Structures are given as C-alpha cells and as structure tokens.
Chains A and B, each alone.
Chain A
Amino acid sequence: MGKTIRVLIAKPGLDGHDRGAKVIARALRDAGMEVIYTGLRLTPEQIVQSAIQEDVDAVALSILSGAHNYLLPRVVELLKEENAYDDILVLGGGVIPEEDIPQLKEKGIAEIFTHGTSTQVTIDFIRNNVKNSVRCS
C-alpha cells in the first residue's frame, strides 16, 4: 500500500462562494483522502506555498467569481517556478464557461469540473491522475 493521497482545496481570489469547495472537501475525505481546506481569499502565492509545505498530490481550486482565467494559470505558473508542478496535479471547479476550458487546460490545469459534476467523477479523476503513483487511497 502506498501513502494516502493528499489534496489541498483552495479558494483563490476574493470569491466567497465556498459551498462547492466544502462539499468536495468532505467527499474527498469520505473517499479516504487527506484534505486540507484553506478557507477564503488566498493569493496564488499563498496557495502554492501551502501546497508545497503540505506536500500535497493535488491542488483543487474552486472559483465562481469569473476571475479563473487569471487566477488558475497563475497557480500553475508559480508551481512551475517552484519546480513543484511535476509532482502536483492542478484542478479547477466552479462557474467556468465551457469556452474557457481549452485554454485553461493548455495552461496546465489538468481538468475543470463545472456545475452538476458528481463528486465521484472528481474522486476518480484524482485517483487516476495523481502524478506520484505510489500513493493510493
């Protein structure tokens, strides 16, 4: 058995809608993962720092304010600067128009989960895509 998958759930920017983030946090925890939820209003810098300090396998970013095109790629950029992107899977979720998704993926967000996605889909995606394959849950 490998180590348990660790996931950081974060709300980048000023958005206060955290229902989705909290639901995902509980669902991942119920699925056996270790979850760190950071609360509201984190800068991309703070998120990347926490991700590295907490040695997580995935960062799940929830955003409903429309600022995704700036904030999500910024987290990837900073992870790359810290040489941490190769170890950490970056996911996004929230109110994100479909037409924005291809460019977000191009910029290094592994997947975007929008309204109506079952938590099981997210759980499976994380299990199948974490970069450090010795871990499982």
Chain B
Amino acid sequence: MFDKNEIKQLKKKKNVWEEEKVQKTLNRFPERKEQFTTVSNKIVDRLYTPINVEDFDYQQDSGYPGEFPFTRGVQPTMYRGRLWTMRQYAGFATAEESNNRYKFLLEQGQTGLSVAFDLPTQIGYDSDHSLSQGEVGKVGVAIDSLKDMEILFDGIPLDNVSTSMTINAPAAVLLAMYIAVAEKQGVSSDKLKGTIQNDILKEYIARGTYIFPVEPSMRLIIDIFAYCAEVVPKWNTISISGYHIREAGSTATQEVAFTLADGIAYVEAAIKAGLEVDSFAPRLSFFFNAHNDLLEEVSKYRAARRLWAKIMKERFGAKNPKSMQLKFHTQTGGSTLTAQQPENNIVRVAIQTLAAVLGGTQSLHTNSKDEALALPTEDSVRIALRTQQIVAHESGVAETIDPLAGSYYVESLTTEIENGAMDYIKKIDDLGGAAKAIEKGYIQKEIMDSSYEYQIQVEKNERIIVGMNKFKIEEKAPKGLLKVDPAVGEMQKAKINQLKSERNQKEVESRLRALKDAATGDDNLMPYILEAVKAYATLGEICDELRGVFGEYEQSVII
C-alpha cells in the first residue's frame, strides 16, 4: 500500500517522535500500564501507522465487498441493501408460551425467529424421562413431538419468516418436524428459510449437548447436507459456532481458529462421503460471539472471512464464490454480562452490537440486561432489540460498507488474528484434524488455559469489570425476573400421555423399526426421521432408536 521509501522515512520520523516527544511525556506522566493488551491478551501498541501494514496489499488482502477474499463483506452493498436480520434467541416453558413470545417479537419489528429449546429436547430426552426432571422448559421450550412444534409455529406462516433453531445432536429430528409443520400449513420445503445449528464438534468442545459418538454424529450432519441440497435448498444446514467456544473462555484468535478447524472437518467429511464441495458449501453458515473489545472483535470477523475464503478456494478447490463466503450470525457475549448493576449490561450490549455491525454480520441477537440472572423478561428483550434498531437507524455505521477498513490498527490486527488462527489450524491438522484434537483434549485445554488466565487477571484487578471488581455499590436483589412455572414438566408429561393414547401406535412402531434398520445401513436417514416424526413418534423415541444403534459419546474430562 505504501512505497518502500515512504515507509523508510516514516520509520525514521517515528523514531524521532518516540525519542523526543514520547519520552519527554513519559518522564512526566507515565502511562497507565506497563503493557496494554486486548481482552484476548494481544499486546496493543501505543500507535499504529503505515509501518504496521507495510506488506498490506489492497487487492489481495481486502478486495471489494462481495469479492474474494470477502474481507470487506460478503455482499456487494451490505446494509445499504438490507439491514442485518434482527433475531432474538427465545423460547421457554411450553410451546404455547413461546409462540406468544415469538408473536410479540415479530410485532416489535424483529425480522427472524430463533428458537431456544430446553435441555432435554437438545439431548434427545422426552419431558417424562428421569433425566429431564427439573430441566423441562427451563433454558428453552420443551418439544416432545410434532404436536408441540405445531403449537410453537401456530399462526406464523413459515413461508414468510426465516427461523433459526439452536439444535445440534437431534438437529435432523427438529428439522424434520419443521418441514412437517410447513407441509401442514401448505408450504413446500423448497420455500423454507432458516438455519439449524447442527454443529456437534463444538458441543464436544464447549457446549455439552452431545448424544452420539463422533462418527455417527458426522454421518447425521452429512445426511442433512445431502438431503437439504435436494429438498430444502434455501436452508442453512449448519451454523459452525465459535460463540460457545468464546463463552467457554477462549481468546478471539482461538474462537476463529477452532471454529474454522471444525468447519474444515465438516467439509472434509462431506467430501469423503462423496459430495461435491460446491453442492453443499454455499449453505454452510457460521456463528460468532461479540465481546466488549470493539476493535479486536471487528478485526476478528474480518480475519475469519478472509481466512475461510482462502481455505475453501485453496484447500478444497471450491469454484463457486458462494462456497467461499463466510456468512455469520452474531450473539453478544453472555459471559461479559454482570449480575451486579444489570443496567450496565445495556451499554455493554450496545458496544457489542456496534462490533458485530462494523464487522459485517448477517444476523444478530442482542442479549438482555438481566441474562446474568435469569431468562429475560419482555421488557428487557425489547431494550435489547431497540439497541439493534438504534444502531441500525441512528448511529450511521450501517450507511457505508466496512467503515473501519484501512485503519492501521484494524488492518494490522486483522492480519495478526488471521495468522494466529492459521497457526492453530496447522497444529490441529498435525493432530489429525478437529475431531482427533478434541478427542485428545487439545482444544479444550487451550480454551481452559485462556479462561483461567482471564479469571486470574480479573481477580487481581488487572482487568476492570465495571460494577463487579470496581465501582461497586450496595444493591438490593433485582425484582421481576422471569420465572418458569415448575408445573411445565407435569404439563408436558400429560401431553405426552395424551399423544401416546391418540396416535396410531402400530404406525409409530413400524416407522421406528424402519429408522433403526436404516441406521444400521448407510441410507440417508432424513426421510426415515421425517416419516417417524409425521407418525408422531416422540423426539425421545427417535433418539433412543439411534442410541441403540450408534451408542453414546463419552466426554474426555479436562481441567
């Protein structure tokens, strides 16, 4: 970007500035800290100049929006064409209550749905399973069968809304239920738009809602890729997630590295199963965190886009530019919220929203101020959604594309994060890929080390968390938190009993047997799951059949 002579001159002048100006000031006023770092412990220099980006090549490293390597964004006009999708992750208690919340959110101007399931649903247990006790309807909505799913989307036309579902191990079952509900509404599956998370590797690493061992889990994922390519072509078949890796305590670079390493594992598995890379890669999507370190986060998204584009083009030989585009959803960082002075969280979320938007996200969930304490109330969700709307309509940052490009700091940090992530990916390749690295506990250990280091910095007050380790006040316990009725468990149990007395039991049994047979062979399992779902087999019954054939994953415990 700069010619060699100019850089030489600048270096000379910088030395003079440091020796004469800076030193003089330092002698009188030392800086606040010996060393400044990002929240991810990257050293931050006093000043960034063209010297930091002397090797930067605009065409090669940045290019134009919508063009390789997509550093500046995946679409040619970005938010000037259409704003990002404002998508609040929601769901609790019963399908009826969650349906009400979705309608409320749509009325408030939300533009897409995002379904949170309770833990039993995410782990493939019905509400009446002994392990579900105390968990039904707590962190999301309880879905036991197609019946619940019909209620969940009652009055919401599925051809007009895009729906993201945070579901992983049993993703195939919930997707099948969604397709079946749409069919009942008269909406054909080629019109359906949305995303399933379907990212099992990060469940093993950080999130914990796994069921089956690695191999059959990968098979289910690839079956979904293949099925959707033909039947649900607008569906994003996976959301490869760094969000939970970051929540578990990783750095920004680790978030990019481990997410893309997981992505590589899925692409490799699909190619190995005989799929052509450009047949499924355009439907891969990603999911990242937004923390408070604004400029590091913006650089992180830019680095992830550039690195993924290169990986798809150079490593996997993708030809379709859409296969090279890293499209992503963002959620603001839950772990950055404080239980103390919860109103302060509104400000944190606003900064994180800016980071996601300046980083070119395709959709965004903003956390509510009370989420370090409980699930959010309607009022606090409204403020979180309004935060996005204010950034969209009042801040001006959405009016031009990638406005921080060319900042010496942001460009230099973008390259630094990309290189750091690439180094990790090489290490993971050497270990035999992401699945092997997880099995060996390597990825978990790296995250754990970062998480513990951060904790120690906070406890030593080397990192200030406002309201938590500095600027504290005496507080009363917050009032008006959302409470999930403990009777939800009993209500769901009653629904299951009724369902089982009404459905055609013979058909359920034959559909489950067919699924089991298919699971022992190598047919695509999606059509079998869809038939079982339509016969009102429960989620737990379907997952139990698969558990019988596949077995269950055993966690490697790392501390």
Contacts and interface: CB of A to CB of B under 8 A. Distances in A.
Interface of A: 13-19, 22-23, 25-27, 29, 35, 37-41, 43, 65-67, 69-71, 95, 97-99, 114-116, 118-120
A19 B373 CA distance: 17
Contacts of A37: 557, 559
B258 to A, nearest CB: 15
B131 A16 contact: no
Contacts of B145: none
Contacts, number: 107
Interface in B133-178: 133-135, 138-139
A66 B326 CA distance: 34
Interface residues of B, number: 46
Contacts of B465: 116
B254 to A, nearest CB: 14
Contact of A71 (B130, B134, B375, B448): B134
A14 B120 contact: yes
A63 to B, nearest CB: 9
Contacts of B484: 66
A14 B452 contact: no
A-B pairs, top 8 by smallest CB distance, nearest first, are A16-B208, A70-B134, A67-B134, A98-B477, A66-B138, A14-B119, A115-B339, A39-B557
Looking at B125, B372, B455, B559, which has the most chain A CB atoms within 10 Å of its CB?
B559
B139 A65 contact: yes
A14 B451 contact: no
A65 B338 contact: no
B297 interface: no
Given A18-B208, A70-B133, A116-B339, A98 B559 contact: no
Contacts of A114: 339
Interface in B332-381: 335, 338-340, 372-375
Given A13-B119, A65-B139, A119-B459, A19 B249 contact: yes
B135 A14 contact: yes
Interface of B: 119-120, 122-123, 125, 130-135, 138-139, 203, 206-209, 247-249, 335, 338-340, 372-375, 448, 451-452, 455, 459, 465, 468-469, 477-478, 481, 484, 486, 555, 557-559
Looking at B208, B247, B338, B372, which has the most chain A CB atoms within 10 Å of its CB?
B208
Given A14-B119, A23-B451, A38 B138 contact: no
B119 A65 contact: yes
Contacts of A29: 559
B208 A40 contact: yes
B559 A35 contact: yes
Contacts of B478: 98
Given A22-B451, A37-B559, A14 B372 contact: no
B131 A14 contact: yes
Contact of A119 (B373, B455, B558): B455
Contacts of A118: 459
Contact of A116 (B122, B133, B208, B468): B468
Contacts of B208: 15-18, 40-41
Given A19-B247, A71-B134, A118-B459, 7 more contacts: A14-B131, A18-B208, A25-B559, A27-B452, A38-B557, A40-B208, A115-B338
A71 B131 CA distance: 11
Looking at B123, B134, B206, which has the most chain A CB atoms within 10 Å of its CB?
B134
A64 B339 CA distance: 13
B217 to A, nearest CB: 15
Given A26-B452, A43-B131, A95 B373 contact: yes
Given A39-B555, A115-B339, A116-B338, A95 B133 contact: no
A33 to B, nearest CB: 13
B273 to A, nearest CB: 28
B340 A95 contact: no
Contacts of A27: 452, 455
A120 B339 contact: no
A68 to B, nearest CB: 8
Contacts of A120: 459
Contacts of A66: 135, 138-139, 374-375, 484
A115 B370 CA distance: 12
Contacts of B130: 43
A78 B555 CA distance: 25
20 contacts: A14-B123, A16-B208, A18-B248, A19-B247, A26-B452, A27-B455, A29-B559, A37-B557, A39-B555, A40-B208, A65-B135, A65-B139, A66-B139, A66-B374, A66-B484, A67-B134, A71-B134, A97-B373, A97-B374, A116-B338
Nearest to A35: B559
Contacts of B455: 23, 27, 119
A16 B135 contact: no
Nearest to B458: A118
A3 B411 CA distance: 55
Nearest to B209: A16
A17 B244 CA distance: 9
B552 to A, nearest CB: 10
A74 B203 CA distance: 27
Contacts of B248: 18-19
A15 B119 contact: yes
Contacts of A23: 249, 451-452, 455
A71 to B, nearest CB: 5
A78 to B, nearest CB: 13
A16 B469 CA distance: 27
Contacts of A16: 119, 203, 206-209
Contacts of B247: 17, 19
A71 B130 CA distance: 12
A1 B27 CA distance: 52
